[in-house]
Amino acid sequence: RHKFWETQPVGQFKDLGDASLPEGPIEPPTPLSEVKQEPYNLPSPYEWTTCDMDLEEMCNEVYVLLTNNYVEDDENMFRFNYSKEFLRWALRPPGFYRSWHIGVRVKTSKKLVAFITGVPARIRARDTVVTMAEINFLCVHKKLRSKRLAPVMIKEVTRRVHMENIWQAAYTAGVVLPTPISTCQYWHRSLNPKKLIDVGFSRLGARMTMSRTIKLYKLPDQTVTPGFRKMEPHDVPAVTRLLRNYLKQFVVAPDFDENDVEHWLLPKEGVIDSYLVESPETHEITDFCSFYTLPSSILGNQNHSTLKAAYSYYNVSTKTPLIQLMNDALIVAKQKDFDVFNALDVMQNESFLKELKFGPGDGKLHYYLYNYRLKHVLRASELGLVLL
């Protein structure tokens, strides 16, 4: 069934209910001297390239590859359209390795036809903080699919991660592989229902007219929580404390320090938005919410070419009810002209999804760990991790 994945140190389907298997690494690290020193062989028309995302030209090649060949929904109506600024942000966090930004070119034409990336992250699984690679942006050009290029790319990124003495990884996918640590549901909150219906992203409900639908999804013009404002650089220490304390409760979550929070959560125009609540009395930072910008190309629509989507990232409420905090997030997303606000049912998100008129999507997201076993499949609400 899974000729490649059966050979890898990941949880296998046959082991799913086996309580005798311990939690933790599936295989021990090998001495660095035993890590293969040369890249894996690609089929002879292709060659490896390391993608320097600082170079405008390289970043553009990656952007074009992903824009035309990355993830689509199950009916091929939409395709993720990560911006160049987003890719630079996603791929250059504290301690990143350029060698983990891996491209494949056609030798003769030098055309970039495949890509895979890793970035380092400290991720806690129960009580243990593990340095891992977060693997993302695996993409093979549409014309080169089903040639078993993906397994070679995964082995090569694994080798380059091993060279840095890192032995675990985390990744998400819309497809089922051996074997998810958890499976999440995508939820969607319409902000611009007319456009969403026009492009086939959503449908007019039964016994609903367009004007009733527009009214249903109306939001206030201004946020309602006193002290709600954009996060600023001087907030990094307070947000780090708030977030670290919040993420303790989840079984799998990132172990963010101030450098990580500065990188991943300080607002970056068109990439990441973060807001917090500063108590008007005590000036304490009591609540936090964030979302990232990931548009999708609309495939084959006469009137619209992009869907502007916001994705819920990390949210923490200690004083403001989470529902009110997220309603304010919806209000700012609407002000910023997003068409839809998406969220997974991770962390405590279930507590606001229905009340704030999110509806379940047709997509699921499976979470995976490489070379790390957990005894049980987790509920989505036990996950404290959001990957881009």
Residues that bind ligand EN5 in the complex, under the rule CB under 6 A: 71, 73-75, 77, 136, 172-174, 186, 188, 190, 201-202, 359, 361-363, 365, 387-388
d(CA 35, CA 357): 51
H/E stretch holding 122: strand 112-125
d(CA 355, CA 162): 45
d(CA 377, CA 182): 6
Of the two residues 239 and 309, which places its CB atom closer to ligand NHW in the complex? 309
Among candidate residues 112, 356, 365, 388, the one labeled active-site is: 388
Structure tokens at 371: 């070379």
Pick from ligand EN5, ligand NHW, none: which does 61 bind, CB < 5 to 8 A by kind? none
Nearest-approach distance from CB 148 to ligand NHW, in angstroms: 4
* H helix runs in the chain, sequence order: 56-69, 84-91, 149-162, 193-198, 210-216, 236-247, 258-265, 322-335, 350-353
Of the two residues 172 and 320, which places its CB atom closer to ligand EN5 in the complex? 172
d(CA 294, CA 276): 21
Pick from ligand NHW, ligand EN5, none: which does 319 bind, CB < 5 to 8 A by kind? none
- The closest of 222, 221, 225, 223 to 279, measured between CA atoms, is 225
Of the two residues 55 and 208, which places its CB atom closer to ligand EN5 in the complex? 208
Nearest-approach distance from CB 53 to ligand NHW, in angstroms: 16
d(CA 61, CA 111): 9
Do the Cβ atoms of 113 and 144 come closer than 8 Å?
yes
Of the two residues 4 and 217, which places its CB atom closer to ligand EN5 in the complex? 217
d(CA 33, CA 35): 6
Pick from ligand NHW, ligand EN5, none: which does 365 bind, CB < 5 to 8 A by kind? ligand EN5
Of the two residues 45 and 205, which places its CB atom closer to ligand NHW in the complex? 45
Nearest-approach distance from CB 196 to ligand EN5, in angstroms: 6
Give the strand pairing for 285-293 and 309-312: antiparallel
Nearest-approach distance from CB 29 to ligand NHW, in angstroms: 10
H/E stretch holding 293: strand 285-293
Nearest-approach distance from CB 15 to ligand NHW, in angstroms: 16
User: What are the distances in angstroms from CA 200 to CA 191, 298, 307?
Assistant: 15, 9, 11
149 counts as catalytic:
no
Report phi then psi at 98, rounded to 5: -65, -35
Place of tokens 């609309």: 298
Pick from ligand EN5, ligand NHW, none: which does 157 bind, CB < 5 to 8 A by kind? ligand NHW
Enumerate the β-bridge partners of residue 101.
Answer: 117
Pick from ligand EN5, ligand NHW, none: which does 361 bind, CB < 5 to 8 A by kind? ligand EN5
Of the two residues 82 and 246, which places its CB atom closer to ligand NHW in the complex? 82
Pick from ligand EN5, ligand NHW, none: which does 177 bind, CB < 5 to 8 A by kind? ligand NHW
- The closest of 277, 357, 360 to 317, measured between CA atoms, is 277
Residues of this chain that bind ligand NHW (CB under 6 A): 2-5, 69-71, 133, 135-140, 145-151, 154, 157-158, 161, 167-169, 171-173, 175, 177, 370-371
Pick from ligand EN5, ligand NHW, none: which does 370 bind, CB < 5 to 8 A by kind? ligand NHW
Write out the catalytic residue numbers.
388
